[in-house]
Structure 1
Amino acid sequence: MTKRMKALAATVVADKAYPLNEAISLVKTNAKAKFDETIEISMNLGIDPRHADQMVRGVVGLPNGTGKTVRVGVFARGPKADEARAAGADVVGADDLAALVQEGKIDFDRCIATPDMMALVGRLGKVLGPRGLMPNPKLGTVTMDVKGAVTAAKAGQVEFRAEKAGIIHAGIGKASFGQEELLANARAFVDAIQKSRPTGAKGTFVKKVAVSSTMGVGVSVDVSSLQG
């Protein structure tokens, strides 16, 4: 561990679970890198994502955004393509965009498609899937409401999905955000996860929670403080 990390670790009491508000304040105070660090939240859930009835996946709009510029790609034709461009999409196309993706030229962080484009987009599954970019109607990224989907993505909508170990995480803002902004974003994310509890989940759903910054140490959160 570097001297910097040792100094940061010394500010956190080992084995202590902090109230959410205090944990965010501590992480925010320790975010002293030369760039605006991302504040992240990680949740260890009592699920086994290998079973279909225990998967946790969805999207949530953070009230104060993420502080990150999201590049949006849209597969659409005709009026819907025009609608996407007008809404602020960064890349819009059909066969031409599919060709770029096949070449590995993926200049977007969120991918949206109209239903009629899924036959084309489906052939890109091996490229988009591993990157978590495959459009999905359950996530609102396969839709005729192109304008709404693009606007939501640009405004700070966060997609979440449980990993194999049952851990789910996301960025909830930047260190430059105010304390209350980060707290509101964290509560919105936690609320979305709890509302997404699958029918197959038994026992304790939220087992452990921690917050951290890009270059900082993790701070354990008292699960009972999540509801505020």
Structure 2
Amino acid sequence: MAKQGKRTRTARDLVAGKANLSVEEAVALIKQSATAKFDETVELAMNLGVDPRHADQMVRGVVTLPNGTGKTVRVAVFARGAKADEATEAGADIVGAEDLMETIQSGKIEFDRCIATPDMMPLVGRLGKILGPRNLMPNPKVGTVTMDVKQAVANAKGGEVQFKVEKAGIIHAGIGKASFDPEKLAQNVRAFVEAVTRAKPAGAKGTYLKKVSLSSTMGPGVSVDLASATAN
């Protein structure tokens, strides 16, 4: 067994025996255990009672966190003409068409969100095998295939988080930074949980929300009381 460092041991001792805490208690504990030399991301994980292998149990959506994520999001936009100009003016980091497609095909992917106007989707569709596995493929269901590129870029830059359930029924996302005020982190937690709750698919049977946990990038996780996580 690998030897744990002092920082890791201290963090694990801090959360030992503590479970099903209120959102506020969990946030306070995660902030206390986030002692790395950088501003750690606070990550939320949700265990859902769905089997995403079935189309009617897929959970996917988007939420704008009230206090942002604290992360700088690099945005690429597939657009031409006036819409390309609109994307640039809105603050998109990369804007293009065939030239952007060639850049991505060469393996150079320097963005965190990809937006496209509807007319560009035949071109973007060629990149499915590259963008799909990275969860970067534009999709109208989450607002990244749109003519309103200005708003889409603003949303991406302003704290919008996309979520999609994984094969094991898990959803996870960064919902802020350890340096955030506890109240702001708690608000983000509840906003994210509410969005996933609203996205409950028609095919979900039994218990939908099974478990919610919080952790920091380098720290241990702690489970959150479901009633507290879903409280308004």
Normalising by the smaller structure, the TM-score range is over 0.9
Q: Does 1:201 align with 2:204?
A: yes
**How far did residue 219 of structure 1 move?**
0.7
Matched, 1:227 2:225: no
Q: CA deviation at 1:135?
A: 0.4
- SS of 1:169 mapped into structure 2: strand
SS at the partner of 2:14?
coil
Q: Which residue of structure 1 aligns with residue 65 of structure 2? A: 62
How far the C-alpha of 1:16 sits from its partner, in A, is 2.4
Alignment of 1:124-203 (within 5 A): 124-203=127-206
* 1:77 alignment partner AA: R
- 2:108 maps to what in 1? 105
Aligned to 1:18: 21
Which stretches of structure 1, 4 residues or more, deviate above 6 A after TM superposition?
none
State the Cα distance separating 1:13 from its structure 2 match.
Answer: 3.6
* Whole-angstrom distance in 2 between the partners of 1:133 and 1:88: 18
In structure 2, do the counterparts of structure 1 residues 15 and 23 end up closer, same or farther at CA, with 3 Å as the change threshold? closer
Give per-residue Cα distances to partners, 1:165-219, cap 9 Å, x unaligned: 1000100000110011101111110000000000111111111111000011101
Distance across 1 between alignment mates of 2:113 and 2:80:
18
Of 69, 83, 88, the match for 2:86 = 83
2:118 counterpart of 1:115: yes
1:38 corresponds to: 41
Q: Which runs of 5+ in 2 are unaligned?
A: none
- Taking the aligned partners of 1:42 and 1:127, their CA distance within structure 2 comes to 25
In the alignment, the residues of structure 2 paired with residue 94 and residue 147 of structure 1 have an alpha-carbon distance, to the nearest angstrom, of 17
One-letter amino acid of the structure 2 residue matched with residue 221 of structure 1: V
Asked if structure 1 preserves the Cα contact closer than 8 Å seen for 2:45 and 2:171, the reply is yes
Change (3 A) 1:224 1:13: farther
> Secondary structure of the residue that 1:65 maps to in structure 2?
coil
Report deviation, 1:3: 3.0
Structure 1 unpaired stretches of 5+: none
How far 1:11 sits from its partner (Å)? 1.1
Q: Distance in 2 between matches of 1:65 and 1:182?
A: 9
Deviation at 1:15, TM superposition (A): 5.9
1:114 and 1:161 mapped to 2: Cα distance? 22
Looking at structure 1, the residues matched to 207 and 116 of structure 2 have their Cα atoms a distance apart, in angstroms, of 37
Deviation sequence 1:64-100 (CA, Å, 0-9, x none): 1000000000000000000000000000000010010
> Following the alignment from structure 1 to structure 2, what is the Cα–Cα distance between the partners of residues 176 and 17?
23
Q: In 1, Cα distance between the equivalents of 2:157 and 2:57? A: 29
Q: Deviations for 1:5-51, whole angstroms, at most 9, x for unmatched residues?
A: 22111111426211111001100111111100000110000000110
What amino acid does structure 2 have at the position aligned with 1:22? E
Per the alignment, residue 52 of structure 2 pairs with 49
Q: Counterparts of 1:15 and 1:66 in 2: how far apart (Å)?
A: 26
SS at match of 1:133: coil
